[in-house]
Amino acid sequence: MWSGIKCSTMHPERVTVVNLANMSLTGQITPSLGNLTFLQELTLSNNLFSGQLPPLNCLIRLEILYLQNNLLQGNIPNALTNCSKLLGLDLSSNMLVGSIPGNIGSLYNLMGIDLSNNSLTGNIPPTFGNNTYLEELRLTHNQLKGSIPEELGKLPDMTKDLAVFLGQNRLSGRVPATLFNLSKLIILDLSTNKLRGTLPYDIGNLSVALQWLVLGANNLSGTVPPSIGALKNLTVLDLGGNNFVGPIPYSVGNLPKLWKLDLSNHFDSW
């Protein structure tokens, strides 16, 4: 009968849901939650919890883990990947540091991962490419570095839609050509990094479902390919703050759904 607590109908003594969001709770998240072996959802978002994340490695039935908008510190525990049935993981807007666990790709069922607005460092694990059902990946506003792994472009076409947010980090190198093979991609945000190189001439072959292409504030160069006008579902096209040269292709004017266009810092005109 406790607010936010649900128990199993078949096993009434077993807790299956702990949802205590938006309750101004403080202190640390007790490790004893790891004893709730029938737990399927743990939602403690929008509180004032501090300290480190407890291991929670015994929660083999856990499907939802939402701890966003707290004051959590320390590393993301490697043991978290023992929760093999996780569908949704949101640790955004905390104070987490360290690298993303390299074996996160073992969470094959994950549909949404949000680790944005922390202070995470290191590289993006290539094992993200193993998350077969991934629909949303948010790693924005961290301090991630290195190149974008090619493996991200090898996600199977089993998702309904796919949104990838990697902006506001320290990523370098080229945009992997494999990303342009994702047929279910609707959002690609790689803005405000240190990416370099040119856009592929056949960028118009990118997902026909693509709605956002946000590559602003990088070190990209070369020309804007005319084939970009083939992306008829684009609503946001942000290529500003790069080093593009040459004429802006007239095909940009043929994007019927476009409502935001940024080509600033372009070294030529119509």
Quick: pLDDT tens for 116-149.
999 999 999 999 988 888 999 999 999 999 999 9
Pairwise pLDDT comparison (5 vs 58), residue with the higher score: 5
Q: Are residues 153 and 216 in the same domain?
A: yes
Distance CA 154, CA 45 (A): 32
What mean pLDDT do residues 203-217 have?
A: 91
Q: Is residue 92 part of a domain?
A: yes
Q: Which two tokens stand for residue 14?
A: 């077993």
What mean pLDDT do residues 98-108 have?
A: 91
pLDDT category at 154 given cuts 50, 70, 90 is: confident
Q: Is residue 117 part of a domain?
A: no
Residue 203 belongs to domain spanning: 124-134+148-270
User: Does the global pTM surpass 0.85?
Assistant: yes
Q: Is residue 55 part of a domain?
A: yes
What mean pLDDT do residues 196-221 have?
A: 92
pLDDT for res 220:
96
pLDDT category at 270 given cuts 50, 70, 90 is: very low
Q: Are residues 245 and 129 in the same domain?
A: yes
Pairwise pLDDT comparison (183 vs 170), residue with the higher score: 170
pLDDT for res 201:
87
Q: Is residue 103 part of a domain?
A: no
3-class SS of residue 41 = strand
Q: Which two tokens stand for residue 35?
A: 């004893």
Q: Are residues 89 and 169 in the same domain?
A: no
Q: Are residues 250 and 153 in the same domain?
A: yes
Cβ burial, residue 67 (10 Å; 0-12/13-18/19+)? buried
pLDDT for res 268:
62
Q: Is residue 165 part of a domain?
A: yes
Looking from the CA of 217 toward its CB, the CA atoms found within 13 Å total 11
Q: Please, which residues have CB within 8 angstroms of residue 12's CB and are 6 or more apart in sequence?
A: none
Across the beta sheet with 194-198, the strand order is 145-146, 170-174, 194-198, 219-222, 243-244
Q: Are residues 269 and 161 in the same domain?
A: yes
What's the number of domains the chain is made of? 2
**Mean pLDDT across the chain:** 92
| Of 11-20, 147-156, 215-224, 240-249, the least confident | 147-156
The CATH number assigned to the domain holding 161 equals 3.80.10.10
Q: Are residues 211 and 252 in the same domain?
A: yes
CA 182, 228, 226, 166 dihedral sign is: negative
Q: Are residues 203 and 248 in the same domain?
A: yes
